[in-house]
Structure 1
Amino acid sequence: MGLTPMMIQYLEVKERNNDCILFFRLGDFYEMFFEDAETAARELELVLTGRECGLDKRAPMCGIPYHSASSYINRLVNKGYKVAICEQLEDPSKAKGIVKRDVIKIITPGTCSDTAFLEDTKNNYIMSLYIEDEKAAMSFADISTGEFKCTYTKYNISCVLDEISKFIPSEIIIENDIDIKIIDAIKERFQMSFTKRPNIFFSKKGIENLKNQFPNFDINKFNDVLIKGCNGLLNYIIDTQKTILTHIDTIEYYDTVDYLSIDINSRRNLELTETLSEKSKKGSLLWVIDKTSTAMGARMLRKWVEQPLIQKEKIVNRLESVEEIMSNLPLYDDLKEQLRDIYDIERLVGKISTKSVNAKELLSLKKSIEKLPKIKTILESFNSELLKNICSKLDCLDDIYILLNKSILDNPALSVKEGGIIKEGFSKEVDELRTAKAHGKEWIASLENEEREATGIKSLKVKYNRIFGYYIEITKSNLSSVPQDRYIRKQTLANCERYVTPELKEVEEKILGAQEKLIDIEYELFVQIRENIEKHIDRMKKSAKLISEIDCLSSLAIVALENNYCKPEINVIGELYIEEGRHPVVEKMITRNSFVANDTIMDNTDKQLLLITGPNMAGKSTYMRQVALINILAQIGSFVPAKKASIVICDKIFTRIGASDDLARGKSTFMVEMWEVSNILNNATNKSLIILDEVGRGTSTYDGLSIAWAVIEYLCNNNDLRCKTLFATHYHELTSLEGKIKGVKNYSIAVKKVEDDIIFLRKIIEGGADESYGIEVAKLAGIPNEVIDRAREILNNLENENIQVKNSTNHNELKGEYVKETAVSILDKQKKENNEIKQIGFEDIGKEKLIDDIASIDILNMTPMEGFNKLYDIIKRVKTL
């Protein structure tokens, strides 16, 4: 027994789309067969059945109604599957033999453009990654908005990961033979779908394809590697969408150094767009500053956070615009009112391009365009350069508004193929057919009255359904009055009979003929309107971008006003000054006015590296993060949470905060820490800002102290680096480096000790902390009192005993002493090799600290008991040296 013709057709289509789940249209259903059916039934919780197909056994089968397919497709795509939509290409009633079918669209995680299933405030990017000759070409596109961006760098796994972290694509297109290391690295850090297309990057017409798609394509900005990368992504988009997408009409090349560089670890640590623990927007920097009114503005503001500026002029222009909006609240209120009623023009334009827009969405476009003239009028009152520039470039799209206003009904039907979408007066033919349809209702009503009088049956009714058309319905009790010569029985029901008459069939033919023709003509007119609007996609995209920019600036203005932010000065001379700075997120999460503000002063000379000591939970990490976030906010063009600020433009921001492991890659907590520190030291420049928290805490004390010490030296003594650094540590020995290494300045978190308890004052003060208060912090955390008391007893013994490590037979103790001696010898060797830098050993640290403490004693202001206690403390410390 051979396969049935339908199954042969199915298998042929499936063969061409074997990496997709094939939705095969049969009547009012999409059917899936064989492995596709088994997968879909499992993932969508559908009933798995079977169908005769000409084989010995029935083919596994499941199906869904075509009108509700979107939700099922979205569920599969969200799970990483690709779905190929196979439609009937001809009218089944007119087809000879089996109906022609083929795939009209392939939906993948990165090419999904159904706005019902996309997050309004996020882009849905698809990416291509192409590597050749130690260069990596990366292209990013969002089909829903028409964006297409590209860049290339020297191939480096860290650089690729950092770039991916800016866009978080849903899908990545790669070659078959791409470096497996980069694939593994991406999979370990992100959840995204990979698609291998071996030949998609290579095309003899690659440059020609790019020129045809992008009028602004400039061959001088593209090398061969980048051309292949862009061509691969463009080919994949066209292959899946089965059409030329006119809204993807601009290619934007950017260099990775065009924006503030924030590596993947720093983005997570600083929680720019989502929190580290819950992956939610609430609690992130974006959550604080996003007061946008439109989906377009929300997406743009996210991009601003992901890619802060590094050009002073652009930053200052944004700041001046924000300041002017803040100082004109009535204008801001008017602007906000107009923005509130603007729909997502970018994605509406995308739907026009993909031919998936309906009449209601065109009505939304019209309502959005209606607001543009009012917004332009408001902008004319502003004087800042950026707002004036936006105003001059804003196209009000009057011609598109006029077309939509006169063509689309104010309350159109949802489906474009059922009529009820064209406004009266737009088409003479539509008006005539509507009149005929309206008279048809009158004819039916008149015929119903005539039949009631002729038969004497007062309950007689003329009704309609899609199966039988129009019919006369008479109840069982009135059947004796039915004229047998004119009434033709059509259907018998339990309590009534249905009839037709020659007169009714004649009226029906007129009415239904007009209705069917009206539907066809309305659809044709709708297509013409859509195509007419499609010619102006570039104009609509530009206006949408300008509206987004206005929305972002307005959002930053109201955030600054509500939260008492200040306008920062922007400098390029290397000085960072923040007076009463605050953490923008933490102050929103805690009780109002309870956040303790702190100053920060840094430069490239005496205060290049701030060494911050103090107990855990005192606020060191919060303080350091707030400095980084204030810098980022300023480079976005936002006011900052401070009383006053002068911000130096950074090229890169790095953070090494917190403890975590990566056991999946065989890396311990300490290994991860060292990997992150290595990345920072190898990539930072003298214009970077570095946040380092507890370097060296993941290993033994002497190892960790040695590493932390060496890192500080490297950051301060390397003349090609010397970047601004905040360095938090519990190694109090490092505080002696102030005055020994140029640029190191000691700061600590103020703490008040009350008997055995401590109070965190959250205030940064000059000078190092005298102790870590670890036991007190443990007590605050709820450690049992028995453990706390024993810890104090052990600490007291350790502080009062002179432990003779060298006389010990304990191998670990000897090993610890060996590490100590080795570390000291290394430092002594470095001192000899570099006469310009005076080094000190670990014993010297304690001695110099003791001398400083003795010198600072104010004996005249001490009571006898205080003097006795101080002397006892000095003797105890001398014994341990």
Structure 2
Amino acid sequence: MALSPMMQQYLQIKEENPDCLILFRLGDFYELFFDDAKTVSRELELTLTGRACGLEERAPMCGVPFHSADSYIPKLVERGHKVAICEQMEDPAEAKGLVRREVVRIITPGTIDIAGSTENDENIFIASVFATKTQVGIAYGDITTGELACMHLEYRHNLDSLISELVKIAPKEIVYDESSLPENVLAALQDPQVQTYLNPVDSSYYRKALCEKTLMNQFGASSLISLDLDGRTDLVLASGSLLLYLGDTQKQRMEQFKHLDIRESSNYMQLDRSTLRNLELLETIYDKNKEGSLLGVLDHTHTAMGGRLLKRFIKEPLNNQAQINARLEAVDAVVNHPLERNNLVAGLREIYDFERLSARVASGRANGKDLVALKNTLGALPEIRNTLEDLASSALLAEIRDSIDDFDDLYQMIAESIVEEPPFIITEGNLIRPGYSSELDDLKESIRDAKEWIAGLEQSERERTGIKTIKVGFNKVFGYYLDVSKSFSDKVPENYIRKQTLVNNERYITPELKEKESLVLSAEAKINALEYDIFRKIRTSIEPYIGSLQKASASVALLDVLVSFGDVATANGYVRPEVDDSSLIEIEEGRHPAVEQMIGSGMFVSNNTAMDTEQESLLLITGPNMSGKSTYMRQTAIIVLMAQMGSFVPCRRARIGVCDRVFTRIGASDNLASGQSTFFIEMSELANILRNATRRSLIILDEIGRGTSTFDGLSIAWATAEYLASDDHRVRTMFATHYHELTVLEEQLPAVHNLSVSVSEDGSNVVFLHRIIDGPASKSYGIHVAKIAGIPKAIRQSASRKLKELEAQSAPMPATTQISFFDSEIAPEPERVSEEPLPYENVLKEIRGMDINSLTPIQALVRLQEIQNEIKDIDEDSEE
């Protein structure tokens, strides 16, 4: 037995798209067969049926109505499936033989463009990665908004920068050439923190000549020079391959991509994934909520575009002083003009997501409701422009005003053509306003009498027959019919022709009803086809405006963020920071924006911060747990970030010398999946900081060396502090530690300054005041913290006895002790000039032979004291 022609057609399409679920259009349904049907039945919990296919056994089949497919497809894509939409390319009624069918679109996690399939303020980025052994090119785009960007990364030691960028971009899908991608780059893409759908594609997408041609065709350029891509092979291959892949899967040119943004890392502060997480910029660490994060504080945006842009601002603060101050000047104008700010808010609330609306028009997927939303948005723009006239003292706000074109003619065209409440489906009529097309109006007029006759048939038949329950109905199988309950069967007139029998009803037709039906349905088919044709022409006529619409939508998004900053500043009492190119970070009465909101206004204890690479660049902070050290350090970093993204900040006064990067090393957890311990992760993050920090960076270190033995940890912490505070480095650093031994560094290194958290003691009661003061902490109060945490009393009493015993045995470290763990390599010994032993040879020999790992911390400090005394004796003998 042979497969039926239709099933052969299906299997051929499946063979051409083996990694896709094929939604095969059959009339009013999308059907799936064989393994695809089993998969969809399982994933969507739909009934699995069967269909004759020419073989002895029926083919497994599962389907969904075509008009509701948009509610099913996102669920399949979210579960990692690619979906191919296979449509009928001709009218079955007119086709000769088998209906021609083709795949018109392939939907993947990075190309889903279905209303309601994602959060409005979330980008749906798809990325392409090309890499060599030393550099990476990344291109990423969002087909739903028309955003397209690329960037170049170089790597030497590891791929932390690549992972961090991918975490910030958060692409839903990454395409790459598996055959040419270096193994370490592939491992970076597979990092659990990236969390994306990896899609290896054919190497043909990465042919250089094809990528170059694709880019020039996309942007109407005659060479790569005008695109600023000449000689930048990694960017050409990443960007070109992405456009090629999107063209192949979407079966059309990507007209929504009007511009390629080449992102230079020097323009933005570089935030690695640890900093994004540790500072809780977008979500809280433990419950992944927006509330409690910096985003939760700052997001007073009113448009979807503004919400997306705000997230980008948070992930990419500026490095350019002039650009930062331009934003701050705009926020200042918004804050100081409350009436205008309220007017802008009112206007922004009328704005739909016309960044996505424009992209849907460009891709040919906009429906009637999209065009009405676009029209309503355009109607709100003039008032926004007028309000901005009163805020033109800000150069940035004036630039925003000037970038919003006059779209009055486009507004009028849509208003005159599309009805106010159009249906979702654009092929079933009721789209076009009366008076827009005389041909359409004539067609509708031609069946008006027949439709009125049908509309009045129910009442006239009730009066004529005396059957009070007669109803006129319609379905696609039988057309119009008269429904009569069986209890009135004896009153049915002779001219009624029985068409269908139900349990309690009979359905009839009459010759006159069928005549009117034929007239109406024939005309309605023509009307629907004509309305669809008119609608497509209207949609096409909008395409020349796409570039201007995208420019205006980008400006409205920026305005929305700036207004949001103004609202937040006004509501929370934030101030404008002074941002310059100095090496200072000076904050008076700084507050943590998220913590302040959670505990209530007026309850937060504010603190000062003063750092300067020319003077005190390393703040060494000691004090007990739960006293506020971490909050103090985090709030300093967040205030710096807020200032450089152009926001007012929570303090009384702030002066911020621009930071190129903010690094954080706060806490850690085991990565069991990759066999990495807490201490290994801690050391990896520290290594990344020490390799990449510059004199313009800000480093937040919350405990270093706590994951290993005390002496090892103290050594690492000491060496780290010494390195960062040395004259060769002087990186602005906040270093919280429980190693009180480090506090002697203040006397040894001019860049180190001791801070601690004040504590109030009243007998056995201890109160943490959360106030940062000068000087080192006198105690750690660990046992008191254990009490707060609920450790049983008996264990605390035992710990207190042991603490007193250890303190009595310990020898305090003299303040004059000079220890250096700074040198990474031991200097070579000088050549001997005589056979006499060197003065310190015995001491050095003893140190080399010492088993450090077998010493307790107390023993180590005591032995260090003894060694120091031996050296003093040798020095005194030498002087004699």
TM-score above 0.5, yes or no: yes
Specify the alignment match of 1:783 in structure 2.
791
- Equivalent residue runs for 1:69-84 within 5 Å: 69-84=69-84
Q: Is the 8 A contact 2:305 2:553 kept in 1?
A: yes
**Matching of residue 142 in structure 1 with residue 145 in structure 2:** no
Residue-by-residue CA offset, 1:348-402 (whole Å, 9 max, x unaligned)? 1122123222112211111111000010000001121111111122113112101
1:105-163 Cα distance to aligned partner (Å, 9 max, x none): 11111111113111111111111110125221100101110111001122451121121
Render the CA deviation track for 1:699-738: whole Å, top value 9, x for unaligned. 111111111111112112252x321000111111111111
Give 1:413's aligned residue.
423
Q: Which residue of 2 aligns with 1:424?
A: 434
1:81-230 map, 5 Å:
81-132=81-132, 134-155=134-155, 156-177=158-179, 178-187=181-190, 188-197=192-201, 198-202=203-207, 204-215=209-220, 218-222=226-230, 223-230=232-239
**One-letter amino acid matched to 1:796:** K
Aligned to 1:14: 14
> How many equivalent pairs are there?
824
Corresponding residue of 2:287? 278
Select the residue among 444, 459, 466 that pairs with 2:476. 466
Distance 1:56 1:310, change over 3 A: same
Deviations 1:506-534 (A, max 9, x none): 43333333222211111111111111112
Give the structure 1 partner of residue 311 of structure 2: 302
Q: Who is 1:750 aligned against? A: 758
SS in 1 for 2:687: helix
Give the conservation status (yes or no) of the 8 Å contact 1:29–1:65.
yes
- The residue correspondences of 1:800-839 to structure 2 (distance < 5 A) are 800-801=808-809
Q: How do 1:380-529 and structure 2 match up within 5 A?
A: 380-382=389-391, 383-444=393-454, 464-471=474-481, 484=494, 490-491=499-500, 500-529=509-538
* Kept in 2: contact 1:748–1:766 (CA 8 A): yes
Alpha-carbon distance in 2 for matches of 1:845, 1:684: 36
- Structure 1 residues 616, 51: CA separation in 2 closer, same or farther (over 3 Å shift)? same
One-letter identity of the residue aligned with 2:193: R
Q: What SS does structure 1 have at the residue aligned with 2:86?
A: strand
**What's the counterpart of residue 812 of structure 1?**
none
RMSD: 2.9
Letter in structure 1 aligned against 2:545: H
- How many angstroms apart in 2 are the aligned matches of 1:478 and 1:745? 99
Q: What does 1:586-605 align with in structure 2 at a 5 Å threshold? A: 586-605=595-614
Segments of 5+ residues of structure 1 without an aligned counterpart are 805-819, 834-840, 848-881
> Within 5 Å, which residues of 2 pair with 1:353-752?
353-382=362-391, 383-444=393-454, 464-471=474-481, 484=494, 490-491=499-500, 500-717=509-726, 719=728, 721-752=729-760
CA distance in 1, matches of 2:818, 2:303: 64
**Offset from partner CA, 1:754-812 (integer Å, 9 cap, x none):** 222321110110101112111111111111000000000011111223699xxxxxxxx
Distance 1:478 1:274, change over 3 A: closer
Question: How far is 1:39 from its partner?
Answer: 2.3
**Cα offset for 1:668?**
1.2
Secondary structure of 1:2's aligned partner: coil
**Equivalent residue of 2:139, what SS?**
strand
Give the TM-score of the pair, scaled to structure 1: 0.89
**Residues 500 and 506, structure 2, Cα contact 8 Å, conserved in 1:** yes
Task: Tell whether the 8 Å contact from 2:302 to 2:345 is kept in structure 1 after alignment.
Answer: yes
Corresponding residue number in structure 2 for 1:866: none
**Residues 157 and 718 of structure 1, relative CA distance in 2, 3 Å threshold:** farther
Separation in 2 of the partners of 1:528 and 1:76?
33
- Is the CA contact 2:810–2:862 (under 8 Å) kept in the aligned structure 1? no
CA contact (8 A) 1:149 1:251 kept: yes
**What is the CA–CA distance in structure 1 between the aligned matches of 2:863 and 2:740, rounded to whole Å?**
10
Corresponding position of 2:769: 761
On the 8 A contact 2:132/2:182 being kept in 1, the answer is no
Contact persistence 1:692–1:725 (CA under 8 A): yes
The 10-residue stretch of structure 1 (587-596 or 317-326) with the greater mean CA deviation from structure 2 = 587-596
The answer to whether the Cα contact below 8 Å between 1:115 and 1:347 also exists between their aligned partners in 2 is no
Between 312-321 and 213-222, the greater mean CA deviation after superposition: 213-222
2:675, 2:782 → 1: CA distance?
Answer: 30
The alignment partner of 2:754 has SS state of strand
In 2, Cα distance between the equivalents of 1:288 and 1:280?
A: 12
Distance 1:581 1:473, change over 3 A: closer
CA distance in 2, matches of 1:731, 1:445: 88
Q: 1:516 to 1:742 in 2, by over 3 A?
A: same
* Per-residue deviation, 1:462: 5.7
Which stretch has the larger CA shift, 748-757 or 101-110? 748-757
Task: Give 3-state SS (helix, strand or coil) of 2:758's partner.
Answer: strand
**Distance in 1 between the 2:325 and 2:818 partners?**
54
2:370 partner amino acid: E
Q: Residue 26 and residue 663 in structure 1: after superposition, are their counterparts in 2 closer, same or farther (change >3 A)?
A: same
Partner of 1:772: 780
| Matched residue SS, 1:109 | coil
Indicate which of 251, 262, 270 corresponds to 1:242.
251
User: 2:579 is paired with a residue of what secondary structure?
Assistant: strand
C-alpha contact (below 8 Å) 1:582/1:596 kept by paired residues: yes
More off after superposition, 408-417 vs 625-634: 408-417
Of 92-101 and 249-258, deviating more is 92-101
Q: Note the C-alpha offset of 1:456.
A: 8.1
Amino acid at match of 1:182: V
Q: Report the more deviating stretch, 298-307 or 217-226.
A: 217-226
SS of 1:3's partner is: coil
Q: 1:419-476 CA distances to partner (integer Å, 9 max, x unpaired)?
A: 1111111111122222233322333467778878887888777654433334456677
Deviations 1:176-204 (A, max 9, x none): 22223333333322221101112211153
Matches for 1:857-868 after TM superposition, within 5 Å? none
CA separation in 1, counterparts of 2:239 and 2:563? 35
CA distance in 2, matches of 1:663, 1:493: 64
Deviation digits for residues 557-611 of structure 1 (CA, Å, limit 9, x no counterpart): 0100111101000111111110000111111111321110000001012211001
Distance 1:832 1:275, change over 3 A: farther
CA contact (8 A) 1:215 1:249 kept: no
Tell me: CA distance 1:787–1:158, structure 2 relative to 1, closer, same or farther (3 Å). same
Match of 2:833 in 1: none
The aligned counterpart of 1:31 is: 31
User: How far off is 1:673 after superposition?
Assistant: 0.7
Residues 752 and 761 in structure 1, CA contact (< 8 A), matched pair in contact too: yes
Is the CA contact (8 Å cut-off) linking 1:605 and 1:742 kept in structure 2? no
Deviation, 1:168, is 0.7
Residues in 1 aligned to 2:292 and 2:632: alpha-carbon distance in whole angstroms = 16
Distance (Å, rounded) in 2 between the aligned partners of 1:363 and 1:133: 51
Contact 1:369 1:397 in 2 (8 A): yes
Q: Which residue among 276, 292, 302 is the counterpart of 1:293? A: 302
Report if the CA contact (8 A) 2:176-2:199 is conserved: yes
For residue 644 of structure 1, report the CA deviation from its aligned partner.
0.3
